[in-house]
Amino acid sequence: MVATWSDEEVARRWLRLFPHRKKNDGTPEEPTQPEIDMIVNQPAVLAERRRRLSDVSWWMRCTAENIARRANREDSCTGRFWEGRFRLQVLLDEASLLACAAYVDLNPIRAALAETPESSDYTGAKDRIDDLSERVDRTRPSTHDWERSRRRRKSGWMSPIEIDEKNDPVGPCVESSGRRASRKGFLAISMSRYLELLDWTGRQLQRDKVGKIPSHLVPVLSRLGLDAPSWCDVVSKFGRVFKRAAGTPESLAREAVRCGQNWLCAKENPLGLSSI
């Protein structure tokens, strides 16, 4: 989304976050045109501001600092929040993308706070499931088109799951309403298949024994070179196995070359343990 903003919009948004002047109550003053021009007229500074506004690590850093400062004032102390707990991993391939999505959606189940995705509060999966249960037009449009519509009351803030690799444009596909960053999907599987796989995986994580995966879900994992035990392994260990980047051994090797390193750590990588 940041890539579609004008130079002036980038400068204005940056100055709202890091104002040169503040009001008596601490809120930022509206930036003046000279202040905006100071950023717009310096290409290197402008490029850096645009990059930081689209960087989740930078956002997390600023969020943590803001909360820590406010809490420290209340408690009359110093220190940092979330120290060592926030990590950013590059997702290098479809296997890591699917595994990461499932890892996040199954957090409450791994933590024994819920037994199924539909009872896992504060997850994207639950929002999607709740909207599906409330959907009345089950014949049309298709689930694929419905995901891209504005009819989703709870999950409309998220992008669709299924990407249309044939028709979706290359590059940003910004939502005009501003409610979500993109109308494009991110996986080459349907939302129903993803939710079924998620439900099956959550049940395996709950009982310490990997059962037989339903036959209609086998192709999803087979395409990624995974069997049922390997899949459950990567979902349960995703946060511990992958550090700076996540992907198959081949993807990690290519990323290491791109970064000028000999290797990227992913001890006992489950994405490389199966050869279906």
pLDDT in tens, 182-192: 778 888 888 88
Rounded to 10 deg, the angle between the 94-105 and 228-241 helix axes is 80
Whether 7 and 108 share a structural domain: no
**In this structure, which amino acid lies at residue 130?**
D
Q: Does 109 fall in a domain?
A: yes
| Domain annotation covers residue 59 | no
User: Per-residue confidence at 53, pLDDT binned at 50, 70, 90?
Assistant: very high
Instruction: Kindly state whether residues 49 and 178 are assigned to the same domain.
Output: no
Q: 30 and 126: one domain?
A: no
Whether residue 74 lies inside any domain: the answer is: no
Q: Which of the four pLDDT bands, split at 50, 70 and 90, describes residue 32?
A: very high
Q: Residue 174: is its pLDDT beyond 70?
A: no
CA distances 174 to 37, 50, 87, 188, Å, are: 26, 16, 26, 19
pLDDT recorded at residue 112: 85
The whole-chain average pLDDT of the chain stands at 82
3-state helix, strand, coil in the chain (%, to 5): 50, 5, 45
The answer to whether 244 and 90 are in contact (CB under 8 A) is yes
Q: Are residues 111 and 245 in the same domain?
A: yes
Please indicate, yes or no, if residue 60 is contained in any of the structural domains. no
Largest CA distance in the chain: 65
Instruction: Give pLDDT, residue 236.
Output: 87
Q: What is the mean pLDDT of residues 213-218?
A: 78
Asked if residue 65 is part of any domain, the answer here is no
Which is more confidently placed, 274 or 61? 61
Does 42 share its domain with 162? no
Are residues 241 and 114 part of one domain? yes
Find tokens 């990997």 and name the residue: 210
- 161 and 260 inside one domain: yes
Amino acid letter at 180? R
Can you tell me the distance from the alpha carbon of 255 to that of 258, in angstroms, rounded to the nearest whole number?
Answer: 5
Overall domain count for the chain: 2
Beta bridge partners of 246: 91
pTM of the predicted protein model: 0.68
Residue 235 domain-assigned?
Answer: yes
Q: Which among 24, 48, 199, 50 is positioned nearest to 118, based on CA atoms?
A: 199
Domain check: are 180 and 235 in the same one?
yes
Give the per-residue pLDDT at 8.
94
Alpha-carbon distances of 211 from 39, 168, 189, 269, 270, rounded to whole Å: 58, 36, 22, 21, 18
Same domain, 183 and 100: yes
**Residue 8 sits in which domain range?**
2-54
Is 172 inside any structural domain? yes
What is the model's pLDDT at position 11?
95
User: Which residues make Cβ contacts (< 8 Å) with residue 231, sequence separation at least 6?
Assistant: 99, 201, 213, 221, 270
Phi, psi of 107, deg, nearest 5 = -50, -50
Both 124 and 261 in one domain: the answer is yes
CA angle (31, 35, 37) in 5-degree steps: 120
- Please compute, for residue 62, the number of CA atoms within 13 A of its CA located in the half-sphere on the CB side: 11
**Cβ–Cβ under 8 Å, residues 264 and 89:** no
13 pLDDT more than 90: yes
83 occurs within a structural domain: no
CB-CB contact of 104 with 86 (8 Å): no
Instruction: For residues 256 and 248, give the distance between their C-alpha atoms in angstroms, rounded to a whole number.
Output: 12
The Cα–Cα gap between 11 and 241 comes to 39
Nearest to 103 by CA among 231, 255, 266, 244: 231
120 or 210, which is more confident = 120
pLDDT for residue 216: 79
Q: What digits encode the pLDDT tens for the residues 96-106? A: 999 999 999 99
User: Are residues 102 and 38 both part of a single domain?
Assistant: no
Of the pLDDT bands very low, low, confident and very high (cuts 50, 70, 90), residue 267 is confident
Residues 21 and 95 in one domain: no
